[in-house]
Chains A and B, each alone.
Chain A
Amino acid sequence: MSAAVWALFTAFSMASLFAIGGASALIPEFHRQIVENYGLMDDKGFAHSVVLSQLAPGPNMLLVSFIGWQVGGLPGLLVSTFAIVGPPSALAFTVGRVIEGRKEAAWVKAIKTSLSPIVVGLTLASGTVTARAADHDFVAWALTVGSAAFMIAYRRNPLWVIGAGACVGVLAYRLGFMPGV
């Protein structure tokens, strides 16, 4: 492994067990390690990586994979992904075995029930944060409200709804309704 790829492995595997709430909470720490400490990327490249990784679907851990790709190509990508995903996965594997092995125990049931509303709160929070970032004009607000109403009433593949949103965006732009773009 090259020195840069080894640095990626060290930085990401050390940070991985502190990634409570996913990678987004760790962006300042990644910046400190990758840009300031190891000098693997400059500020502009780092900011660009953050923006691009948010465009793709999937877990926000992808930012780490993408930084790995920018710094060290395919080996960098694989090593970075393994470093950030490995330690928390080993922990999740162990915790999963414990709660599955004692799933009839009162304390396991109590913990699972008590943590369930946190998921609803987090999902609602994620909707709010996404809407705040995305909804700059009337068209975008209408799209958010419309897609929420559609998905509550019908259960269609979410990809269609996002595709329809993208088409409405282009149409609105062509008609001059999307000044935010």
Chain B
Amino acid sequence: MDGKLNDPADAAPGAKISLIDLFTGFLMIGLMGFGGIAVSAQYVMVERRKWLTTREFVELFGVCSILPGGNFLNASVMIGDRNQGPLGSVTCLTALLLMPLLILLAIAVTYDQFSYLPEVRAATAGGAAAAAGLIFATAARLTRGVSPTVPLIVAGVATFVVVGVLRWPMWVVVVAIAPLSIFWSLYAARRA
């Protein structure tokens, strides 16, 4: 089922995504991005609109994660440029930021009136717990985009341990895990 859904042949190869599609797509990603954008970006880009296959998605976001700045903001710039040039980049970036900014301002204005209500805190707690589950489900789905070779599995597990368990900063991944993963993969490819 997943193989069919993510079949690259489904999306017309080489077809450019229009500005309006980019705008509405990134607007949805921002609007649904509670608890992190990974969930909504994967849902919109891979499953709903089929802009990218799971493999293309993890490869794009891999590169964007080791660059400075928000990884999904970086990816929006690249996807925008790839389809509609610099105007596409600005469109995607603006669309991605617009809804979260408006929601944040709405929360800021109303928070003090409602935050003392236990129902509001219970709803926030329930929503956050559900969001955590969605992130786990997205991580499980993204594994399908990674080839199961030893260097790549080690790099994925090491990233999880460093950031998720040890809570070390992200630059450890950038200066240690990313280069080691690249060199190990190149070495393994040369020997094979």
Contact = CB atoms under 8 A, between A and B. Distances in A.
Nearest to B189: A110
B137 interface: yes
Interface string A129-168: 1110111100111011111111110010111011111111
Interface residues of A, number: 97
A66 interface: yes
A148 B69 contact: no
Contact of A21 (B86, B111, B140, B169): B169
B62 A116 contact: yes
Contacts, number: 382
Interface of B: 30-40, 43, 47, 55, 58-75, 77-78, 81-82, 86, 89, 93, 96-97, 99-101, 103-105, 107-108, 111, 118-119, 121-143, 145-147, 151-153, 155-160, 163-165, 167, 169-171, 173-174, 177-178, 181-182, 184-186, 189
B165 A128 contact: yes
Contacts of A110: 182, 185-186, 189
B70 A112 contact: no
Contacts of A97: 81
B62 to A, nearest CB: 3
B65 A122 contact: yes
B137 A126 contact: no
A178 B173 CA distance: 37
Q: What does DSSP make chain B's interface, helix, strand, loop or mixed?
A: helix
A115 B63 contact: yes
**Which 5 A-B pairs rank lowest in CB-CB distance, beginning with the nearest?**
A169-B126, A88-B69, A165-B130, A21-B170, A58-B100
Contacts of A152: 137, 140-141
10 contacts: A52-B107, A59-B72, A77-B101, A87-B69, A111-B182, A114-B185, A121-B163, A130-B128, A151-B137, A151-B138
Contact of A123 (B122, B135, B157): B135
A65 B135 CA distance: 24
A113 B149 CA distance: 11
A47 interface: no
A83 to B, nearest CB: 12
B12 to A, nearest CB: 18
Given A23-B70, A120-B159, A181-B118, 14 more contacts: A17-B68, A18-B68, A57-B32, A89-B69, A93-B78, A96-B82, A112-B59, A115-B66, A116-B58, A120-B139, A130-B132, A150-B137, A161-B130, A181-B121
